[in-house]
Amino acid sequence: MDKILEGLVSSSHPLPVKRVIVRRVVESAETPLSQAQCRAMFALSTRLILKGPDPFQRQVGRQVLEAYARFHRDEFEAFFNRGLVLGLLQRGYGGVGSRDPAILDYVQAGLRLIISCPSVLELFALLQVEALRMVCERPAPPLCARLCQLLGDFPQCLPRGRKLSLAFCQQLVRSMAHFQSQGSREPELRLYVSQVTQVSGLLRSIWKAEPDTLLPSLQELFAVISSTDTSFEPSVALASLVQHIPLQMITVLIRSLTTDPNVKDASMTQALCRMIDWLSWPLAQHVETWVIALLKGLAAVQKFTILIDVTLLKIELVFNRLWFPLVRPGALAVLSHMLLSFQHSPEAFHLLVPHVVNLVHSFKNNGLPSSTAFLVQLTELIHCMMYHYSGFPDLYEPILEAIKELPKPSEEKIKLILSQSAWTSQSSSLPSCLSRLSGKSETGKTGLVNLGNTCYMNSVIQALFMATDFRRHVLSLNLNGCNSLMRKLQHLFAFLAHTQREAYAPRIFFEASRPPWFTPRSQQDCSEYLRFLLDRLHEEERTLKALSSAKPSETMMSDESLAQGTANKAQVFTEAPCTGGEERTLIERMFGGKLQTSICCLNCKSTSQKEEPFTDLSLAFCPPASFENVDMQSITHSSEVKDDCMVQTSIVASSPVEESALDTSLAVSDGCETVMNEGILKDLLPAELSSENITDSDLYKVQDSKNVSPKPVSENTPSVTDLLNYFLAPEILNGDNKYYCEKCASLQNAEKIMQIMEEPEYLILTLLRFSYDPKCHIRRKILDNVCLPLILELPVKRTASSLGVVSRGWSVDVEFSDTGENLAKKLKPSGAEEVCCPELVPYVLSSVVVHSGISSESGHYYSYARNITGSGPSLGLCHQSKTMALASHSSLLAGEISHAVIENDLDANEMSKEWFLFNDSRVTFTSFQSVQKITSRFPKDTAYVLLYKKQNCSSGFNANSANGLWVNGDPPLQKELMDAITKDNKLYLQEQELSARTQALQAASASCSFRPNGFDDNDPPGSCGPTGGGGGGGFSTIGRLVF
């Protein structure tokens, strides 16, 4: 029968004829045959299956083998024995090699036919060994897939025992690493993917049946992809394994990988790069989840060098995967994380910028709903990156044009996304003994390192930085090649805005801006420093302008070029209205105002007027005396107290080094020559101090009792408005302070009136809290609580001349000694002057500098601040130019009513405003309520310097300036400055990485110890510990200086 069948299949008879005869041969299998005849039929069918030249012969072989083996099972069991199977697997069959998948097809068919025979157990044991041998020989995808199919159908053939099973899984992983596709056409790729899926499916079954094999298999997987052998590149097919790893294992596995000291940086870099390559695998699931988890894990242990290298190496590849629908969701997730976390430099984003427009246009033309949804996500990502790295209009304008019709996320959402995505915000999965990454706080703001009693500078700089319009003007200046103080301030502001550090050390700026009479590393007055700084910046700008205008020009500038130059300047700054004369400096435009002092002789009624510029107003506290029954002695004493208060400004004049600076000082301090409304005074004055026999010791008795115990405060706490009204109230000059009238040629009683003629953009108010104690020879601190209104209305006298720029220069002829001598008691207005109706200009509180301590020689400064821009909400105050008659002091106080109404209306708005607490290196969120209640909670912590922002109906600064695309509101940084920030950010990440490695080594060899940072929720914001502010607490004042 075998000869007939062999001749038939090889004959030239028509195929239908052959099939009829074959059918009859198969039907004859039921007839009894001898053992030799059966063996001959089995051998023939085996030869046809394995060596048949065409599909027909191979099909005939399978049909005959199956039919004869079913009816002659014993004979087939004897034929299909261990020797035959072993020979086929190791040596092949004739010309068919042992690595031909057909061999495994035949073996699987044989196993299926003798599955119920006892001898099959022997074959299972043989195949367990042979399967392990075969995977160790790195079979090609077709053979490996066929083997896995066999093992899947007959799990009894899988290697048994933990050791063999584990070895099989590991070797199968390594075999997959060698897989390569046999072609690039779609049918070939589909076949390749199905083969890989077959192999990964077997591993999944093994991991599920034997969970102990999972972790060693993953370790083998990581060993493969982390190999630094350049001669071998693992196959992307390994990506198919990721979908079978339980997501619950992410935390454990990532922590194990990132904290393993045996894993070198080069190996981790290779592994991460190859995992990112896996995004190309079409059917893999959760690859992006593991890639992002590993990126976060590396950030948590501060291995920033790896993250930087991998991002720059692979970011373009990930972006290119967005073109392929099958892998687009995973690629976009990884791309978003890589870009949003890479915040120290625009380099990664700028690698993609040239390709964004083409991708956007492609998906717009596509029109599919999935493409539109993807485009919205991509647009949000792009807006976040352009917001963070503003200042590249040539790069961003084409992108903005392409995505202009797509929704744009709000600024609040962008800030939230950026703050949550930065490497420095990744939560650490290390043990608690390792310090958490000291990146920027959740506020996104940068602190300033205390360089040794430099909190007076830090608090002032943070207040100026949060003055948004001023900051934007400074950042927009073109100061390349200039080594001026303004250049250093610009450098400092740029780093505060863009550094990745938690706190920046302003060493260069400190050395350049420190007044020469300030002793290094000692406590100083922040108000004095602020005045000196603004004066330096102003004089420096004036000098540079004078030098540039003094240079001889060969030809006269034409009217056209002059107009062009003016237009260019307008692109940098929005100039204040100017009617001729010298161009105002930046400090003048931002902080400069005009104050007019009028003195009217009560004898001849002649009036002398003097107008002088100011950058801050020094507001005195009321003397502790009643107006109703004051005699000459108490008046004299009151004047002495004011003289003491004047030491704050006049003491500086005692230094010969500073006399020149004082000649041009912008601060107008009328000292304490203001007296509060008598009704308020009565309410504030403690009963024990209401007598006429008031002394200096009595004045501070309440403050010094129990060191700094809170004083009894009445319900009518004075407000900044009260102090401002007191400052501007008319004053009678008599007695020792009589006015010398030139017309009368003698000393005469006179009335002195101060009026604000021009209001500044930013109003700086200094509360005169330090007065000189001649007995103890120290500057004592007035600890009175002061109510800080959110809205302040500044009375400004409007005249025809004041509509223009009155200033012709910056020199201020303020005679501090004369001013001190003329300090006198203030009485009610005499009504001799004509009634003045000033305009009330609304201001909103921008920042508060707080002093913590009981004397100027010790303590600490910190500041509260928030972002307020000129283009921000006008709070309904624009075009509400209220006027009030100043016939009496009490009528001006009625302005409090409008303040209260406005503030009540703003309660809801205020809740949404962000306030920040800047305490040297530490920056935290806070609220306006905390600002208001600071002194009532911590008696030594008092508001000292206030910064108010004028509420304009239109922005004082053009956010779409022609010199750059201002995506986030701040102007673009010049390339030199941006390069410096990028370089420092990279250095910072390397420092953090080195520190983390050192700590990891220390933690591995020693027990963990945690040292508290010294702050406590029950301490004031400016405290060093349980004792609170800089003075007291059982320590000497000298030893407890500013920290």
Query: Which residues are designated catalytic?
Result: 455, 860
CA gap 405, 115 in Å, rounded: 67
Cα separation, 723 vs 767, in Å, equals: 9
Are 110 and 78 a contacting pair, CB within 8 Å?
no
Residues paired with 596 in a beta bridge: 611, 755
β 503-504/447-448 pair status: parallel
Which strand (E) or helix (H) includes residue 393?
Answer: helix 393-402
DSSP state string for 570-619:
HHH--PPP--SSSPPPHHHHHH-EEEEEEEEETTT--EEEEEEEESEEEE
> What phi and psi, each to the nearest 5 degrees, are found at residue 428?
-80, 135
Phi then psi dihedrals of residue 383, to 5 deg: -60, -40
Count CB-CB contacts under 10 A for residue 162.
12
Nearest to 276 by CA among 293, 288, 268, 266: 288
CA torsion 513-516-517-518 (nearest 10°) is: 40
SS3 for 719? strand
**Neighbouring-strand partners of residue 868:** 467
DSSP E strands: which ranges in 761-890? Answer: 762-767, 770-773, 778-781, 791-796, 839-852, 860-865, 882-883
The answer to whether 622 touches 684, Cβ cutoff 8 Å, is yes
Structural contact between residues 145 and 198, judged by C-beta atoms closer than 8 angstroms: yes
Provide CB contacts within 8 A for 324, sequence distance 6+.
Answer: 282, 331
Angle formed by the axes of helices 186-209 and 141-153, nearest 10°: 40
Closest CA to 773 of 703, 693, 851, 711: 703
Q: What is the DSSP letter of 662?
A: H
In this structure, is the dihedral angle defined by the CA atoms of residues 568, 569, 574 and 577, taken in order, positive or negative?
A: negative
203 Cα distance to chain centroid = 43
Tokens of 638: 């009151």
Tokens read off for 540: 């420096």
Sign of CA dihedral 481, 486, 488, 490: negative
**How many angstroms separate the CA atoms of 500 and 296, rounded?**
17
The DSSP string of 933-996 is: HHHHHSTTEEEEEEEEEE--SS-SS-TT-TTS--TTSSPPPPHHHHHHHHHHHHHHHHHHHHHH
Tokens read off for 539: 């004089």
Distance from C-alpha of 97 to C-alpha of 89, rounded to nearest angstrom: 9
Q: 44: how many CB neighbours lie within 10 A of its CB?
A: 21
At position 1032, the amino acid (one-letter code) is G
Gap between the Cα atoms of 302 and 990, Å rounded? 8
775 DSSP assignment: T
Torsion of CA 948, 965, 364, 381, to 10 degrees: -60
